[in-house]
Chains A and B, each alone.
Chain A
Amino acid sequence: MITRIDRRMAKLKDEGRPALVTYFMGGDPDYDTSLRIMKALPKAGSDIIELGMPFSDPMADGPAIQAAALRSLKGGHSLAKTLQMAADFRKEDDETPIVLMGYYNPIYIYGTERFLADAKAAGIDGLIVVDLPPEMDEELCIPALKAGVNFIRLATPTTDDKRLPKVLQNTSGFVYYVSMTGITGSALLDTAKVGEAVQRIKAQTELPICVGFGVKTAEQARAIGGSADGVVVGSAIVSTVANLLGPDGKVAAADPAEAVATLVGELSQGVRSARLAPAE
């Protein structure tokens, strides 16, 4: 089954440039602002959208995304509302791929089968569920593949060559390479090391490789985009939203959607120039 992700990745391959994958937290700081941010992303140059599903205990996330999840939940957001947001977005845009990213428990409580049916109906193309390694594939990965939803797996620096086939086995859409051991939004990454890792994974799969964790600037996006098929930016976007909120966690004077669009525009220039410059 071909998803929007497959089509978008094929198109970018033809264009000879990496994808810009942008993560934001659904419902942060409120439903309407968050939906406007989502709509602004493709217009500013994002190729694939990662829609964050808030969870009370995001064990693999740093302070920026932890705080965003709490703001979202405090505002009454839920998994049902995240799916609604995707459906609202789809009324205007039927091309941009949407990947849901988060943790397993809200999906488990929603009910796996019901979740997959509703996600599919809302126009979701892929899932990234941080706490479901290949050892737990029966839980959601296999049902998702059967339902025609991509299950995008994380590969990390601790995933060695021996383990890699297991990680790649049921992965589809793309492989998300986590550039470092650590939580989201951590320090600067080592571009050369990331390039080596991307090559190592490419030796074992035809799937596109997107790299995330620690990419904050257009320059980093350009550098990573030199070797990867896509660059994921998350915490920088979430922090941009947070910086414009008042002490009460609500939108103050400036519009977060505009600020996010500005940042994503810059990042987009980064990935668009990634393959133009001679290899370093």
Chain B
Amino acid sequence: MNQPVAPNSFRTGPDEQGMFGIFGGRFVAETLMPLILDLEKHWNEAKNDPAFKAELQALSTHYAGRPSKLYFAENLSRHLGGAKIYFKREDLNHTGSHKINNCLGQILLAKRMGRKRIIAETGAGQHGVASATVAARFGLPCVVYMGATDVERQKPNVFRMKLLGAQVNAVSAGHGTLKDAMNEALRDWVTNVEDTYYLIGTAAGPHPYPELVRELQSVIGREAREQILEQEGRLPDVIIAAVGGGSNAIGIFHPFLDDKDVKIIGIEAGGRGLDGAEHCASMNAGKPGVLHGNRTYLLQNEDGQILDGHSISAGLDYPGVGPEHSWLRDTGRVDYVPILDDEALEAFQLTTQKEGIIPALESSHAIAHAIKIAPTMGKDQIIIVNLSGRGDKDVHTVAGMMGMEI
């Protein structure tokens, strides 16, 4: 690929066509095209409307519990003997992850657009739970599409969604993971165009979703910036976040993109290693292609057929990535590196033991990289890890990996 020229600012995208360089765009069936144009129009109005902003702010504060804390992981830092590690505690949000930030914004948008029915796709179930939650709060019916494999490995979240009144449709196509759930959600949307709002959970899909979700998640980075300045009097040296579709990552990255001295690292699911097919490292082992409405790095074969991939973490088990990440990769602003299943599992256990925090397996990938690099850094240096979600949902998977039954 041609290396794009580094722009003056990394924070101005996308352009009017929804492109970040060659990535992004609107690759959807004609049936959906009028809908995403309408969504774009309403979003552009809403994001500049003080009343919309005020309502979102109030819900974020009183319902979701924002701002989330920036916590100095003192024991873990001391144990590793290098840089100071801070956790941005998105796991403390209502519903247990960063997903609620996006869902609150989009449900207000759906309400504004007069939509009567919510659909969503989910991998780990965190977005499904957050969608079901806001749908319950605003009295709208909600259908969540979830891969059959994920339904099996994320049972607690499936039950939570049902308790919240959502209908959970298991999708058995493909490997029964997030990619297949997204296909099925798109099929629902193309069928129910009159009344349905598609609440996409990650910063991917056709324009304007990547921008919309990024803007709603950027609250993470804005807060983290303020908090680290207050607590340390300076910006961090490194920011690390896990990347599946990449919404928590773009949320914490975006406000720091123009701070040249802040090194930014996205962590992809290395699964069982990049040599075989059992990983989800689309930016390390894939190439640009078109899927789910956007051009982005994808795991695919030489015929352009999409591969399924693998990750221990359902939330990272997706063969693509949000288009802005693809652009940040090619411009060189952000480094994307893989972390293996085993490394994530070790980080999960170490964080639980040293800090009394059970992190989601997704977030454990980010922590695992901090564990690798912290010892190589000075004690006066600072790493912020986005602890995007809590790990209660993963205890069955982890027990299985450890050979235990619960």
List the interface of chain A (C-beta within 8 A of B): 54-60, 62, 66, 73, 78-80, 103-110, 130-136, 153-160, 163, 167, 178, 181-183, 186
Contacts and interface: CB of A to CB of B under 8 A. Distances in A.
A79 B30 contact: no
Interface in B108-159: none
A149 B366 CA distance: 49
A133 B33 contact: yes
Contact of B30 (A62, A73, A106, A154): A154
* A-B residue pairs, 9 tightest by C-beta: A109-B304, A106-B304, A182-B191, A56-B305, A156-B31, A78-B303, A105-B304, A133-B33, A131-B27
Interface in B210-252: none
B303 to A, nearest CB: 4
Contact of B31 (A78, A103, A178): A178
A104 to B, nearest CB: 5
Contacts of A104: 27, 290
Interface in B164-194: 173-174, 179, 183, 186-187, 190-194
Interface in B1-38: 17, 25-35
Nearest to A131: B27
Contacts of A186: 191
Interface of B: 17, 25-35, 173-174, 179, 183, 186-187, 190-194, 287, 289-293, 295, 298, 300, 302-306
Contacts of B30: 133, 153-156, 158-159, 167, 178
A160 B302 contact: no
Which of B173, B186, B292, B304 neighbours the largest number of chain A CB atoms within 10 Å of its CB?
B304
A181 B192 CA distance: 7
Contact of B187 (A56, A59, A154): A59
B interface majority secondary structure? mixed
Contact of A105 (B32, B190, B291): B291
Given A158-B34, A158-B35, A56 B306 contact: yes
B284 to A, nearest CB: 18
Given A56-B174, A57-B292, A181-B190, 14 more contacts: A55-B305, A57-B179, A57-B306, A62-B187, A103-B290, A105-B304, A131-B290, A133-B28, A135-B25, A136-B27, A158-B33, A181-B31, A181-B192, A181-B194
A101 to B, nearest CB: 12
A55 B34 CA distance: 24
B31 A158 contact: yes
Contact of A130 (B17, B29, B193): B29
A79 B31 contact: no
B304 A59 contact: no
Q: Which of B25, B27, B179 has the most CB of A within 10 A?
A: B27
A79 B174 CA distance: 20
Contacts of A73: 305
Contacts of B300: 105, 109
Nearest to B33: A133
A163 B34 contact: yes
29 contacts: A55-B305, A57-B291, A57-B292, A59-B190, A59-B292, A60-B31, A66-B173, A73-B305, A79-B304, A105-B298, A105-B304, A106-B305, A108-B295, A109-B287, A109-B303, A133-B26, A133-B30, A133-B33, A154-B29, A154-B30, A158-B32, A158-B33, A158-B35, A159-B30, A159-B33, A159-B34, A163-B34, A181-B191, A183-B191
B187 A60 contact: yes
Contacts of A160: 34
Nearest to A154: B30
Nearest to B287: A109
Contacts of B298: 105
Contact of A183 (B17, B28, B187): B187
A105 B193 contact: no
A124 B34 CA distance: 30
B399 to A, nearest CB: 33
Contact of B183 (A59, A154, A167, A178): A59
Nearest to B179: A57
A135 B29 contact: no
A106 B303 contact: yes
A12 B375 CA distance: 77
A112 B29 CA distance: 19
A79 to B, nearest CB: 6
A78 B179 CA distance: 21
Nearest to A182: B191
Best-surrounded residue of A79, A105, A183 (most CB of chain B within 10 A): A105
Nearest to A129: B27
